[in-house]
Amino acid sequence: MAGGGDVERISSDLVECRALLQRAETDRARALLRKELAALENEHRTAFSQPPSGAPPAGGRVPAPGDHRITTYAWDQTGKYVKLYITVAGVDALPEDAVACAFESRALDLRIRGVEGKEKYLLIRPLCDEIEPADSSFSVKSDRVLIKLCKKSAGAQWGSVDDSDLREKERKEEKAKASQGKSTAQLLSELYGEADDDAKKKLEEAWEKGRQKREGRSAEN
């Protein structure tokens, strides 16, 4: 990781550039500020992902042993934004440059330094859909960080923040295609093979009841 002074400088520049972008009145000014903001965000990602001197190269930033990954958050969405609400006790008491968030078209990287002497981070890659990094932002509230992801496709509905909903949909579609032309017995066999112990027990009970009914009808005939 880059030195603490470099990270603090970049974080400070990011905050100032975003503030200027919100106040810009002309298209030319906004275009120039977006270009500068993109360059700063790239510099910020490089500063966070750069390994210490002498460390082996790694694919992306490797969290230190004391780092804590944030795994829970609330979220909602509007036609334009996806909003994440991350609860972190005391985050509003930290220095302004202790909280930073970098955005890419399909990723976000939140870093919070100095919480109980550790670094907390939330890294989501890939996101459910593309965002506009220059128009995405974060803010620190009382015991909470709010992240606003600006959707590239306004009006699109996200099923999840990451791509898990999309992957599940694709898995079901592939499974449906693979099931075409298979017999009922084959489909039931696959269903049984994928079931957990409780589901298998229920399937066995259902099959046994079905067998008894069929045998009962045969005896009557």
Of residues 123 and 40, more confidently modeled: 123
Per-residue pLDDT, averaged over 135-145, amounts to 96
Name the pTM for this structure. Answer: 0.56
- The pLDDT confidence band at residue 209, using thresholds 50, 70 and 90, is confident
Confidence of residue 41 (pLDDT cuts 50, 70, 90): confident
Q: Are strands 118-124 and 68-69 parallel, antiparallel or unpaired?
A: parallel
Q: Check residue 1 and give its pLDDT.
A: 45
Of residues 160, 187, 185, 165, the one with CA closest to residue 176: 187
Domain parsing of the chain, residue ranges: 4-150, 181-220
The pLDDT score that the predictor gives to residue 152 is 96
What is residue 3's three-state secondary structure?
A: coil
- Asked whether residue 83 carries a pLDDT value surpassing 90, the answer given is yes
What is the pLDDT, as a whole number, of residue 52?
39
For residue 52, say if its preceding peptide bond is cis, omega within 30 degrees of 0. Answer: no
* Cα distance between residue 67 and residue 56, in whole Å: 19
Residues 185-213, mean pLDDT to the nearest whole number: 75
User: What does the pLDDT read at residue 92?
Assistant: 95
Say what the pLDDT of residue 220 is.
61
Q: Which CATH architecture has domain 4-150?
A: Sandwich (2.60)
Per-residue pLDDT at 43? 74
For the residues 153-163, what does the mean pLDDT come to? 94
pLDDT of res. 46: 66
Most confident of 54-63, 101-110, 112-121, 172-181: 101-110
160-176 pLDDT tens trace: 999 887 777 666 666 66
- Residue pair 161/153 in contact (Cβ under 8 Å)? The answer is no
- What is residue 55's predicted lDDT score, i.e. its pLDDT? 36
